[in-house]
Amino acid sequence: MGEVRAASRGEALRFKPPDWKHACHVLLYAPCPGRLFGKIPLRYAVLMQMRFDGRLGFPGGFVDPQDASLEEGLSRELHEELGPGAALLQVTENDYLNAYISERPQRVVAHFYVKQLSLEELRTLEERAVQAKDHGLEVMGLLRVPLYILRDGVGGLPAFLSNTFISSARDQLIQALDVFQLVPKETLQKAVNVAQKTS
């Protein structure tokens, strides 16, 4: 992957099609009170997906020139990738976090949204995701991100971060976990450091 940089929405919109392709992805999360093995707090359910290319990413995709807005393009992609449960979602400009701009392998502006749901809404999405048009095709399955570190110091978030991610998805994940305080700063820093050593 070439150089990637973060940008605000305003800055990102100055990169115009057809020279630049625009894509929108969303991190969906819900507070999750459960404990693993009755002990380890789960904190939040954070959704990602296994893509057709074996990499992890967020639901979403390229915005078409026919889409009236970024958010309409995202909504269309979410219907394709998440199925009928996506009708429950209203991702708006208020959920916009930032954009990642990369020139290689192609010129892409990747807009990134973060939206909180209730656990019930998130579970409904998960249940209906198998009915999505793209299920088993472009999307091999939805998954939740483990946000804890197990006693061996590697299992959980560090091991998860050692997977392969599409373009800037790993940076987007780490940024959102930090900004929305889904993981304590110290835990996140430790997970990133351990992942660096083990991958």
**Using CB under 6 A as the criterion, which residues of the chain lie in contact with ligand APR when the complex forms?**
23, 25, 57-58, 60-62, 77, 108, 110, 138, 166-169, 172
Q: How far apart are CA 126 and CA 195, in angstroms?
A: 27
Q: How far apart are CA 43 and CA 32, in angstroms?
A: 5
Q: Which residues contact 142 (CB under 8 A, 6 or more apart)?
A: 47, 48, 49, 59, 82, 125, 126, 129
Q: Coil, helix or strand for 143?
A: strand
Residue 149 vs 169, nearer CB to ligand APR: 169
Q: Does 61 bind Mg ion (CB under 5 A)?
A: yes
Beta strands in the chain (DSSP E): 4-7, 21-31, 35-36, 40-41, 44-51, 56-57, 60-62, 96-102, 108-116, 139-144
Q: Shortest Cβ distance from residue 62 to Mg ion (Å)?
A: 8
Residue 74 vs 147, nearer CB to ligand APR: 74
Residue 61 vs 156, nearer CB to Mg ion: 61
Per-residue contact track with Mg ion, 3 to 42, x per CB under 5 A?
A: ----------------------------------------
Give the one entry of ligand APR, Mg ion, none that residue 71 binds, where binding means its C-beta sits below a cut-off of 5 to 8 angstroms depending on kind. none
Q: Shortest Cβ distance from residue 15 to Mg ion (Å)?
A: 19
Q: Given 3-state DSSP classes, what are the helix, strand and coil percentages for the chain, each rounded to the nearest 5?
A: 35, 30, 35
Residue whose C-beta lies closest to ligand APR:
61
Give the one entry of ligand APR, Mg ion, none that residue 110 binds, where binding means its C-beta sits below a cut-off of 5 to 8 angstroms depending on kind. ligand APR
Q: Which residues bind Mg ion (CB under 5 A)?
A: 61
